[in-house]
Structure 1
């Protein structure tokens, strides 16, 4: 609960229940697919391949509130 509040809800104005559900759904997708977790060795719950070659490109999440950096 603390991560959702600190990383997301403290920075977004919620405009109703439908908007809250949408924001929470986007955050859960970001949290499980892109955000690193120290307890997982700086990996995400949905593991991904480490890319070592290519240019770095930012991918915005939650309307640019958070970014994931990938290589292309």
Structure 2
């Protein structure tokens, strides 16, 4: 977590640190892939076929990471 996140963020106080850590934990469990889980997330998500539309990026954790989904054009 330190290399992926905390080394890139300047926190202002304890409340800010808790808020950014909460955002990172949500990203880590719902979006980030894990090799030990077969490149899936702890909370599995459905596979989106190419026919579902174009790939759109959604910024997460203040734009430090992104989540990608297919959306109909």
Q: Taking structure 2 as the reference length, what is the TM-score of the superposition?
A: 0.91
Question: Following superposition, which runs of at least 4 residues in structure 1 exceed 2 angstroms of deviation?
Answer: none
Match of 1:9 in 2: 6
Structure 2 residues not aligned, in runs of 5+: none
Match of 1:60 in 2: 59
Give the 3-state SS of the residue equivalent to 1:15 in structure 2.
coil
RMSD of Structure 2 on Structure 1 (CA):
0.6
Which is greater in Rg? 2
Question: How many residues matched?
Answer: 69
Structure 1 residues not aligned, in runs of 5+: none
